[in-house]
Amino acid sequence: MFILIACVVVLSATAIAVIRSKKPLKLILAEAKYELLYSAMGSKYMMHDILMRKKNITDLPLKSGKTAVITGGTRGIGLEVIKLLLKCDINVIIGCRNIQQGENLLPKFREEGISTGNIEVFQLDISVLESVRKFAELVKNKHDKIDYLINNAGIMFGSYVESRDGYESQFSTNYLGHFLLTYLLLPNLKKSGTENLKSRIINVSSCAHIMGKINFDDINCRAQYIPGEAYAQSKLAQILFSNHLNELLKKENANVQVHSVHPGLVDTGLFNDTNMKTVAPWLPSLFFKTPERGAYPIIHACLSPVLEGKGGTYIDNCQVVPASDRAENVELQEKLFSFTKKLLDIETKFYVPAKGYAQSKLAQILFSNYLNALLVREQEQVRVYSVHPGVIDTDIMKSHWYGSIPGFVRKFFFRTPEEGAIPVLYACLSKDLENNGGTYIMDSKIHAPSEKAANVKLQKEFFDFSKNLIETKSFSTLE
């Protein structure tokens, strides 16, 4: 039924466009192709939503003292998300264009009997980068910690319009502005998250991402603008960003996780200007989700304990499902992330603990070897050694994935602290090492360190760098 109506709509609209429009025939046919693709996809996901209706539900745990930031939210799905967040006793910060509409929400919800939670409203036009920066600054000045960021605001289809910053409106509203906002609020999200209860970033995407491609050569679609194509691009971009950011945060051991959500086909104002709503206005109210049911997957991604530690996932009807192959493409994720950083002229630096640890251990050997050389030249009776005690079963492993290995397995493969102490004592007391300073000890024997650690030029460069850090002019009379 839905597909039949859609075909009639598309064919009729195409015929009228050919007769009346000044657009090239090639563009008209391309637009018709996307209309048909959206109709086919819409019918599939409409049936999917109906079949998954019983699974599209989530609990509303009490989260007193928590703070959520949401973009948009004065109508449609976002309005229902805010209502559900208030029921969980969450303080909700709304970023919207019309402040008065946002401020009217709390009295309205209080009249409906929702006595928990609170609302703060700040002006935000997510498509304007300067507005995003001002909004983020206001939020950060009032709230040191943020528990949830819900990138909800969005537009769909419409005529070609560029934002104040010169970007196609769907790209700037649905993706680019939210990328910048996430970047600006990320330090506050990191402060709030803990190992057992991570902060969460939710990007409200769409099943339309399946048809999306990222046109890096013409991100604004100026050469050929097809509303459905631009919308799909923006929704794919959200998922690519979500997945890549989540991986970066995991590598950093940051207590923040990222999810992307398809809320379903929801009867909201987004469909008002579509051909389907014009020809069959009764169809959405009959077959689509209500805004409240569209809000459930977003709340689930935001609050469900089932998803704890499972960032980088795509949520549909409160279930984790695979996104498209293109959305899961790691190379494409990295390319878009770097591309977006250049657009916004920002630099994101993520701390990777393993790299930091390796750097510190290399530094120790560089220091040991260079200091020993200085002492030999000075004819001092002091020698310096570097020691690798082995992989030891100690508390230091708790912050590493090794710590998740069962104890009986660690006992079998790892050294005990006593065994780890033997190489250290060997370096300290053994007569075999007399006058053999500047060496690297492993398994109570002298071993060659890495080429980098043995690099004399690097040793001196790092030694001088370290002295400057601690403002020491000289470490030896020979310098």
Tens digits of per-residue pLDDT, 88-99? 999 999 999 999
Cα end-to-end span (Å), the chain: 87
Helix (H) or strand (E) holding 62: none
Helices 291-303 and 76-87 sit at what angle, rounded to 10 degrees?
50
Verify that 317 and 461 share a domain, yes or no.
no
**Sign of the CA dihedral with 337 first, then 342, 345, and 350 last:** positive
More confident residue, 80 or 379: 80
Structure-model confidence comparison of residues 393 and 333, the more confident one: 333
Question: What local confidence, expressed as pLDDT, does residue 391 receive?
Answer: 84
Q: Are residues 169 and 311 in the same domain?
A: yes
State both tokens at 371.
């200091």
Mean pLDDT of the chain: 88
Domain boundary among 344, 374, 399: 344
Task: Please write the tens of the pLDDT for every residue from 378-424.
Answer: 878 888 889 898 888 787 765 555 556 676 666 767 888 888 788 88
Percent of the chain with pLDDT over 70: 86
The confidence score (pLDDT) of residue 477 equals 47
* The domain boundary residue, chosen from 315, 344, 373: 344
Q: Are residues 324 and 362 in the same domain?
A: no
C-alpha separations of 420 from 286, 355, 403, 425, 434 in Å: 70, 23, 17, 9, 22
- The three-class DSSP label of residue 261 is strand
Using alpha carbons, select from 276, 315, 367, 286 the residue that is nearest to residue 36. 276
pLDDT at 277: 55
Q: Among 193-202, 234-243, 434-443, which is the least confidently predicted range?
A: 434-443
Instruction: Write out pLDDT tens, residues 121-155.
Output: 999 999 999 999 999 999 999 999 999 999 999 99
Question: Which range is least confidently modeled, 28-42, 171-185, 300-314?
Answer: 28-42
pLDDT value of residue 378: 85
Domain contains 88: yes
Instruction: Give the SS3 label for residue 257.
Output: strand
- 405 and 274 in a common domain: no
> In this structure, is residue 173 part of a structural domain?
yes
What is this structure's pTM? 0.76
- In the predicted model, what is the mean pLDDT of residues 439-467? 87
Q: Is the domain of 310 the same as that of 390?
A: no
Return the minimum-mean-pLDDT range out of 1-10, 152-161, 322-331, 441-450: 1-10
Least confident of 19-23, 256-260, 355-359: 19-23
State which residues form the domain around 389: 353-469
User: Residue 35: inside a domain, yes or no?
Assistant: no
Task: Identify the domain boundary among 344, 367, 392.
Answer: 344
Q: Indicate if 340 and 370 belong to the same structural domain.
A: no
Q: Please tell me the predicted confidence (pLDDT) of residue 478.
A: 45
Report percent pLDDT > 90 for the chain: 57
Domain count for the chain, please give it.
2
pLDDT score at 90? 98
12 located within any domain:
no
Give the C-alpha separation, 167 to 219, whole Å: 8
Q: Is the residue at 186 inside a domain? A: yes
Please indicate, yes or no, if residue 384 is contained in any of the structural domains. Answer: yes
* CATH label of the domain that carries residue 204: 3.40.50.720
pLDDT for 17 equals 47
Would 24 be classed as within a structural domain? no
- pLDDT-wise least confident of 335-344, 345-354, 373-382: 345-354
Residue 137 and residue 251 in one domain? yes
- pLDDT reading at 15 higher than 60: no
Q: Report the pLDDT value the prediction gives residue 176, as an integer from 0 to 100.
A: 98
Backbone angles phi, psi at 415, to 5 degrees: -80, 155
In a domain, 417, yes or no: yes
Give the sign of the dihedral formed by CA 247, CA 249, CA 253, CA 258: negative
Torsion of CA 254, 85, 237, 38, to 10 degrees: 150
Strand duo 439-442 + 445-447: pairing: antiparallel
Place 479 in a pLDDT band, splitting at 50, 70 and 90: low
Q: Please compute the mean of the pLDDT values over residues 240-266 and round it to a whole number.
A: 96
- How confident is residue 49, by pLDDT bands cut at 50, 70 and 90? very high
Statement to judge: residues 183 and 126 lie in one domain: yes
Q: Say yes or no: 260 and 408 in one domain.
A: no
Say if residue 362 is in the same domain as residue 340. Answer: no
* pLDDT average, residue stretch 69-75: 95
Q: What is the DSSP letter of 431?
A: G
Query: In this structure, are 263 and 402 located in the same domain?
Result: no
The pLDDT value given to residue 19: 44
- Give me the active site residues, please: 231
Pair 308, 383 in one domain: no
